[in-house]
Amino acid sequence: MLKHTATGDCDRTGSAPLTAYYTESGNPPGRWLGSGLAAVDSGVGLAVGAMVTEPGMANLFGAGRDPVTGAALGRAYSVFIPAVERIAAKVAGLPAAMTPEPGSTDGGSSLMGVGA
């Protein structure tokens, strides 16, 4: 999501920095604003209007960390297992003798409540 937030619909190669989207399209670089800047960098603060850097943006928006020090801000972001992996794990845990219902044309996915 960070990539899309920073580049929108721009086709960015891996070697181009996230900020290239803004500078190449004529947009000015981002600037830090807000009352929370005083708490950044372990209380040292970040100057109002300081230019946003790619690492700072990735720290704050991508990882929920201080944009200067990288220290955790509050609780870590939740990590979720993708639905495909959760379903595959459930299917793998089914008894080997279990087969689709007679006459079923869904390949047995109704056993998992999928595709019904």
Helix (H) or strand (E) holding 85: helix 83-92
Listed in sequence order, the residues at least 6 apart from 71 whose beta carbon sits closer than 8 Å to its beta carbon are: 42, 65
Per-residue pLDDT of 25-35, as tens digits, reads 667 778 999 99
CB atoms within 10 A of CB 7: 17
Select from 18, 15, 17, 14 the least CA-distant residue to 5: 18
* Placement of tokens 């955790």 in the chain: 72
Residue-by-residue pLDDT tens, the chain, 116 positions:
455 445 555 555 666 666 566 556 667 778 999 999 999 998 898 999 999 888 999 999 889 999 999 999 988 888 899 999 999 999 999 988 887 777 666 655 555 555 44
